[in-house]
Homo-oligomer: A and B are copies of this chain.
Amino acid sequence: MREVINKYPRLLHGGDYNPEQWLDSPQVLEEDIRLMKEARVNCVSLGIFSWARLEPEEGEFHFGWIRRIIDKLYENGIYTILATPTGAMPNWMTAKYEEVRQMSPEGVRNLPGRRHNFCYTSPIMRKKMKKINHELSRHLGDHPGVILWHISNEYGGNGSDASCHCPQCQQAFREWLKEKYKTLDNLNHAWWTAFWSHTYTDWSQIHSPVPNGESRLHGLNLDWKRFVSHQIQDFCMEEIRAVLKYSVLPVTTNMMEYFKPLDYFRFAPQLSIISWDNYPEWHSQKDEVNVAVRTAAWHSMMRSLKKAPFLMMESTPSIVNWKAVNTQKRPGLHELSSLQAVACGSNSVQYFQWRKSRGSSEKFHGAVVDHRNGSNTRVFREVSALGSRMEQISDTVYPTCNRPKAAIVFDWENWWAVEDIEGPRKDMAYQDTILAHFKPFWEMGIDVDFVNEDCDLQGYRLVAAPLNYLYKKGYAKKVKDYVEAGGCYVATYFSGVVDETDLCILDRHPLEELLGIRTEEMDAAPEHRVNSIGFEGKSYKTGCLREISHVIPGEGAEVLASYESDYYAGCPALTRKSYGSGRAYYLACETEEAFLKALYAGLAEENGIGTEFTGRLPYGVTVSHREGGQDLWFVQNFNEAETQMELPGTYARVEDGMELKGSITLKPFECLILAAK
């Protein structure tokens, strides 16, 4: 694989480091170096919230202190990921230039404070950002210890929906719309403004969706979300251009799970490598399975964005401090949850934060180094042990990556549209639906990619597209071509309903020919009206979204499952149609988990996408597969108990080459890394 990070092509271990908080305590900084080496830290992120130190007054720059820290780290074998400081603005700027602060949907300008709250349209903010980024690039962009640019921090994480409604954003939105629609007639048609007499007769009448104005024109809502994502992406691109002025380093920006306001598929091409901040809610449920599945899905998304290894840029070594209840990770879970990232394609385990800050809002967030007890803590010992292990596996693991044969469609524009509808249910939950379809693969030990509607589907043997409400232009044709060429495609209820502007597609489902079915009604039943479907001799409960469809006579769709009661008893719940060399499935309703498990087990077999572990994994255990160098299997036990399993072959443990085969016992929260022999 191409080396994205040339200077230090190894697994990274380290985290966010904030020495600007301790500049007047040199002994703390000395101790940091000593403890980092003890913990096998080889890389830290610097400068994320340092603007006020780097430029304490407008135009007055101080780089000496940070250069000295980078030097000292480098001398000790620790590399630096260098951040641009736009994650939080200094007080001199927010006080002097009102326009750099975001404006709320209610039209109120934010006061200074917190972070992630700048107006990404503001020319002044862009000018100030360029200036500091240029200076950073000029002073530190060629430092031998700096290996990667960390562009800003968690873009859009302003605590609400990331958007700014200021007049400059309104104007930029109108320009963006003019560019897109050319004429108001086009826009009026796309947004169906004749409804409720909302025809726009002048571009200046258009305003972002707000609670005390227009909020129910879904085409407007959708375009506004596109605009906000675009505008932040554009700001990011401008930051990248600025740091690359005097530097040739790769660039990343740290993402946040499936962060709804930002279409990360569009960000990916402008980044050298994907990175993200991973904060699962371990111990929030009876066992860790659902959290592990959700986290694996997030990791898989990050890997999918560029179909390449990524970096886990933040994670906590112990607890976070912003949940209702912040539970300590039980012994072993830290190592497992960190290696889960690597198993899914991460080439790093980085923490927020190295040392707990002494004051303000994150002083109780977990860190490698605590306020008390120095390194004499369980947390520090577990971090150090993991650091050693990562050193051991780095050479073997670094060259590999996961290469799934199955994909699930996850499309941000569909997400925005389907959760904004006033339709069958108010609580359409796109993420949860995606996870319900992802979980069976996790349980079978099959890695899965995510694709959006713009991605190429070729190369996958199975593509599932749950709750795929909005069909972009060309998508239906692409799906048909994919199936015709031999692919297997799973469509569900409430898909193909609208086009890109949220206008209903009239007359026929865009995949009617492919699926061979016709939908008549959508019944969103209340909880107390249960139903079930019969499939392969068993009965499975449905959820509350149930489409009533009919097989089109003579079109070749077979009914595999049917409703068992209510007025649509006997109507198809699952159909299959052969099409070209492939097959297309249609699932008419939400179902309980067990049904999806049965469905995808069959499809995995039918399409040959299982691994040697499929069918052999006990509850709570999964396996991920990195290939490219050696064939590596990450066997992950998410049970807080010893778990027996049968290995399907003979393997060598990567750390020490020990041979493993047959029946083995996994320790609680153990992660084995096995190489095929």
CB-CB under 8 A for A112 and B520, given A104-B212, A192-B359, A422-B321? no
8 Å CB contact of A215 from B114, B318, B525: B114
8 Å CB contact of A91 from B85, B108, B205: B205
8 Å CB contact of A422 from B114, B214, B322: B322
Say yes or no: is A99 at the interface (Cβ < 8 Å to chain B): no
Residues 507-526 of chain A, each 1 if its beta carbon lies under 8 Å from chain B, else 0: 11100000000111111111
Say yes or no: is A89 at the interface (Cβ < 8 Å to chain B): yes
Say yes or no: is A601 at the interface (Cβ < 8 Å to chain B): no
Q: In whole angstroms, how far apart are the Cα atoms of A201 and B501 in the complex?
A: 48
Return A639 CB to nearest CB of chain B, in Å: 15
CB-CB under 8 A for A207 and B503, given A50-B197, A52-B198, A423-B321? no
Give the number of times this chain occurs in the complex, counting copies: 3
- Which residues of the other chain, B, contact A363 by a CB distance below 8 angstroms? 192, 504
By size class, the interface of chain A is 35 or more
8 Å CB contact of A325 from B212, B357, B361, B524: B524
- Which residues of the other chain, B, contact A214 by a CB distance below 8 angstroms? 111-114
Q: In whole angstroms, how far apart are the Cα atoms of A423 and B370 in the complex?
A: 14
Q: In whole angstroms, how far apart are the Cα atoms of A302 and B564 in the complex?
A: 41
Say yes or no: is A396 at the interface (Cβ < 8 Å to chain B): no
- Which residues of the other chain, B, contact A111 by a CB distance below 8 angstroms? 207, 210, 212-214
Say yes or no: is A618 at the interface (Cβ < 8 Å to chain B): no
Say yes or no: is A658 at the interface (Cβ < 8 Å to chain B): no
Q: Which residue of B lies closest to A512 (CB)?
A: B372
Q: In whole angstroms, how far apart are the Cα atoms of A376 and B319 in the complex?
A: 58
* Chain A, range 256-300, C-beta contacts under 8 Å to B: 283-286
* Chain A, range 317-354, C-beta contacts under 8 Å to B: 318-319, 321-328, 330-331
- Which residues of the other chain, B, contact A53 by a CB distance below 8 angstroms? 194, 197, 199
Q: List 28 contacting pairs A-B, 8 Å CB cutoff, sorted by A.
A: A51-B197, A53-B197, A85-B197, A90-B201, A91-B201, A91-B205, A92-B205, A108-B212, A110-B213, A111-B213, A113-B207, A115-B197, A285-B528, A286-B528, A321-B424, A325-B525, A327-B525, A327-B529, A330-B566, A331-B567, A359-B504, A363-B504, A364-B421, A364-B424, A372-B518, A373-B518, A378-B520, A378-B521
Smallest CB-CB A-B distances: 5 pairs: A192-B359, A111-B213, A113-B214, A216-B361, A364-B423
